[in-house]
Amino acid sequence: MEIKILTIPFDKELSVFDSELIENFILNKEVVAIKSEFFTADKPYWTFAIKYQPLEKIDKPVEEKEFNLSKAEEKLFETIRNCRNERASAEGFPPYIIAANKQLKSCSVIA
């Protein structure tokens, strides 16, 4: 089990926290727990303590795969994404903490 601390500054121009850092970090990890804290110094920051286990190596990382989903797969992706969004909203944290869209698309591919 490992722990990673990530701190994301608020982007005033876009009025958002850039989630790419976290999304890329969790792609090849099994996230066990996450704790987040919001704080301000010279600007707002969101810090995450992520407890995780590395996944076994895969041939091609998820972020490099292209997903051309069929209509059925796209419908499944939307259903999974909506479920993830509802859960994240109920728990009070961003949806990408549960799973990135790329991960959800990977789960939606029907073999």
What per-residue confidence (pLDDT) applies to 109? 83
What per-residue confidence (pLDDT) applies to 79? 92
HEC readout, 33-92:
EEEEEEEECCCEEEEEEEEEEECCCCCCCHHHCCCCCCHHHHHHHHHHHHHHHHHHHHHC
pLDDT tens for residues 4-54?
Answer: 999 988 888 878 888 888 888 888 888 889 998 988 888 899 899 999 988
Give the DSSP H or E segment for 104.
helix 101-108
Averaged pLDDT score across all residues of the chain: 83
Q: Domain extents for the chain?
A: 2-108
Measured from the Cβ of residue 105, the count of other Cβ atoms closer than 10 Å reads 22
The structure's pTM equals 0.48
Q: Which two tokens stand for residue 30?
A: 């099994």
